[in-house]
Amino acid sequence: MIDQPKDQDPVGPIVSSWHLAQSSLPELSEVEYALTMSNHAFQRWIVRCMNAAGEPGMAPLEVLILHQVHHRNRPKTLADIRLVLHIEDTHLIAYALRKLSERGLVTTAKKGKEKTVAITDAGRTLCERYREVREALLIDLAQELGFKPQEMSRLAALLRAISGSYDHAARAATTV
């Protein structure tokens, strides 16, 4: 077991794995723990928001894909969805799309050799209802808590940059 130095606060930093914080950048372990907590909270939220919007039983990936298909009200290819959601496994997307299609929320077609996916009227209505629930429960709360739009945009940019660092490190790890 690695002991915490005596001169540091016995409570902090807040990390999930103290041994990983024993590095030249312990703050990254704090970020990783926050990402883990945020990821799980976000997935719970989108599933429960979708339940409240009237479509229970959807998996988090299905919710994300439904919103992506609805984005800008244009048909998407599997490659488009995979790229935007940053998912390597096409099979995950294909399975989620099949489930969404069975619910009548998306429809598929062929454009040349590529399969395209478009939102149905039922899917569009559901996304609108989700937006209303989100506005009432999440957006109002964020504004009450004083979240500043500029700070949220900066945080989003920082998270995208961190994501790129993890991607780069993942590629490097495959060569080790």
Per-residue confidence at 6, pLDDT binned at 50, 70, 90? low
Q: Which fold has domain 24-144?
A: Arc Repressor Mutant, subunit A (1.10.10)
117 phi and psi, to 5 degrees? -130, 135
pTM given for the model: 0.89
Q: Are the C-beta atoms of 119 and 105 separated by less than 8 Å?
A: yes
Q: Are the C-beta atoms of 101 and 138 separated by less than 8 Å?
A: no
Cα 39 versus chain centre, distance: 7
Cross-strand bridge partners of residue 108: 117
Residue 66: CB atoms within 10 Å: 27
pLDDT tens digits along 93-138: 999 999 999 999 999 999 888 999 999 999 999 999 999 999 999 9
From the list 62, 60, 93, the residue with the least C-alpha distance to 79 is 93
Burial classification of residue 29, based on how many CB atoms lie within 10 Å of its CB (0-12 exposed, 13-18 middle, 19 or more buried)? buried
What interhelical angle do 60-70 and 27-53 show, nearest 10? 80
Q: Domain spans of the chain? A: 24-144, 146-176
Alpha carbon distance 71, 86 (integer Å): 16
Per-residue confidence at 1, pLDDT binned at 50, 70, 90? very low
